[in-house]
Amino acid sequence: MTDPRPRRTVQRTLPARKRIALIAHDGKKEELLAWATRWQQTLADHELVGTGTTAGRISAQLGLKVEGLMSGPLGGDQQIGARITEQRLDLLVFFWDPFAPQPHDPDVKALLRLAALWNIPVACNAASADFLISSPWLSEPYEMTIPDAQAWVASRNSQG
């Protein structure tokens, strides 16, 4: 029987200029904006992407260039997840609201699962985001291991 998990045997180097996703549920948008304001100069040195309203508000209020994707309920979380699997995203800052049920909760869970699977650093509140953004690795290349997806697919295909 095939191991249901790909082994973490492939090296990936995160670039010095990170690709950072910024996402916030409605009840957390103001908190994310306040956090981004504190870290505006640092964030300006990196490539930013965000979902829907969050990307628009950060861009408009802080003057930061943020690539806007769809809103979360319209597929934005899945767009971010696709970038993770394609290794086109390096950090995820996702201020999710634990008090508000979301109509797209399965998408949120899938996004967090992909971040865990692909070894992407994740911050889900201001304190964890502070630790992440102030890391000495933020502006340095960083070596990490990720699943060897090609070998895993090849082993599953050879099973029959």
Active site residues: 77
Q: How would DSSP label each residue in the chain?
A: ---SS--EEEEEEE-SS-EEEEEE-GGGHHHHHHHHHHTHHHHTTSEEEEEHHHHHHHHHHH---EEEE--GGGTHHHHHHHHHHTT---EEEEE--TTS--TTHHHHHHHHHHHHHTT--EE-SHHHHHHHHT-TTTTS-EEEEEE-HHHHHHHHHHT-
